[in-house]
Amino acid sequence: MLKTNYHTHYSICDGKGEAEEYVVAALQKGFTALGFSSHAPVPFENPTNMNQEDLPKYLKTIQTLKSQYQGKLEIYLGLEIDHIHEHPEPQKQLIALPELDYSIGSFHCMWSPKRKEYREIDSTPEIFRAILDEDFGGNIRQFVERYYQYLAELLETLQPTILGHFDLIKKNNPDTLYFKETEPWYQQAVRDMLPYIRKYEPIVEVNTGGIARGKTKEVYPSPWILYELRKEDIPIMINTDAHTPDLLDAFMEEASYIVKDVGYRKVWNLTSKGWIAQPLD
Ligand SMILES: [Zn+2]
Ligand SMILES: [Zn+2]
């Protein structure tokens, strides 16, 4: 299996350290390819995302590293782009940037009509609780269903190369605090996503970031969802969502066992020949 990761953040958004530290770590760890996917700007103040003014600097930084490390490491320029339900247009423009090698479409930010602000569904447990209580009257089913509606809408609106952390909504559900993934309504909400995945054909990432940071016990998406995806031959890739250079390859091997376990034989990688399905092993 090739050692690669295409979901990487550094200090231009909410990651730690400089971009080049990730390149050095990737070389030390024997990577063949490294993709940067900093959080693209959103049309409001959000500490997780880079500022609009920083975008040209970001593109230039990664392009410079690309040429600097040519022949040593394949470096790819991506962006993790938020779907913003209320303001889809600026995000659509980002995804169309000609400099990008690929994009990761993710949903994090939900508008609170009460608070008149955006809050991240993967923020602290306290904020998750506040969204649930203030915006959904404590109804977790409505909250979760809204998340998956917006995720389907993301595919329709942005049509990203990669769908980011499919079931991020489970991050703040430790020990089934709010819902069980075996509940029929939850499974239905997940299954309702499948036609959108078939239609817009993103590569679904298996994201180890939650496990690596001790926030979840499973990868995104959960193995039962991966099993559903495998039944439909939906392409997947393994990403670590690294925010520090040392976690660039965190839980990658475990993720490869999980995907093999549900029957996948190949994962997708961006290479100098384009997107290629690489056999696992
Ligand atoms: Zn994300
Ligand atoms: Zn990320």
Considering every ligand atom shown, identify the ligand nearest to the alpha carbon of residue 242 and give its number: 2
Residue 134 lies in a domain: no
Residue 255 lies in a domain: yes
Provide the pLDDT for residue 44: 97
Q: How far is the CA of 105 from the centre of ligand 1 (A)?
A: 8
Provide the pLDDT for residue 281: 80
Provide the pLDDT for residue 203: 98
Provide the pLDDT for residue 109: 98
Considering every ligand atom shown, identify the ligand nearest to the alpha carbon of residue 9 and give its number: 2
Residue 119 lies in a domain: no
Whether residue 219 contacts residue 251, with contact meaning beta carbons closer than 8 Å, is answered with yes
Domain count, the chain: 1
Tell me the torsion sign for CA atoms 50, 240, 279, 30: positive
Q: How far is the CA of 166 from the centre of ligand 1 (A)?
A: 10
Provide the pLDDT for residue 140: 98
Residue 23 lies in a domain: yes
Provide the pLDDT for residue 54: 98
Give phi and psi for 9, each to the nearest 5. -120, 150
Starting from the edge strand earliest in sequence, which strands make up the sheet with 236-239, in order?
Answer: 4-5, 33-39, 74-82, 102-106, 162-163, 203-207, 236-239
Q: What is the CATH number of the domain that holds 197?
A: 3.20.20.140
What's the pTM value of the predicted model, to 2 decimals? 0.98
Provide the pLDDT for residue 1: 75
Q: How far is the CA of 80 from the centre of ligand 1 (A)?
A: 7
Residue 63 lies in a domain: yes
182-222 residue pLDDT tens: 999 999 999 999 999 999 999 999 999 999 999 999 999 99
Residue 154 lies in a domain: yes
Q: How far is the CA of 28 from the centre of ligand 1 (A)?
A: 25
Q: What is the mean pLDDT of each run of 10 residues along the chain (281 residues)?
A: 94 98 98 98 97 98 98 98 98 98 98 97 98 98 98 98 98 97 98 98 98 93 98 98 98 97 98 96 80
Question: Whose CA is closest to 148, among 242, 221, 45?
Answer: 221
Using N-to-C axis directions, what is the helix angle for 140-158 and 184-191, rounded to 10°?
10
Q: How far is the CA of 67 from the centre of ligand 2 (A)?
A: 24
Q: How far is the CA of 186 from the centre of ligand 1 (A)?
A: 21
68-75: long-range contacts (C-beta < 8 A, 24 or more apart)? 69/23, 69/27, 72/27, 73/23, 73/26, 73/27, 73/31, 73/32, 73/33, 73/34, 74/32, 74/33, 74/34, 74/270, 74/271, 74/272, 75/23, 75/33, 75/34, 75/35, 75/36
Residue 8 lies in a domain: yes
Range of the domain at 167: 4-109+147-175+184-279
d(CA 179, CA 147): 14
Tell me the torsion sign for CA atoms 34, 35, 36, 37: negative
Provide the pLDDT for residue 39: 98
Residue 230 lies in a domain: yes
Considering every ligand atom shown, identify the ligand nearest to the alpha carbon of residue 79 and give its number: 2
Q: How far is the CA of 81 from the centre of ligand 1 (A)?
A: 9
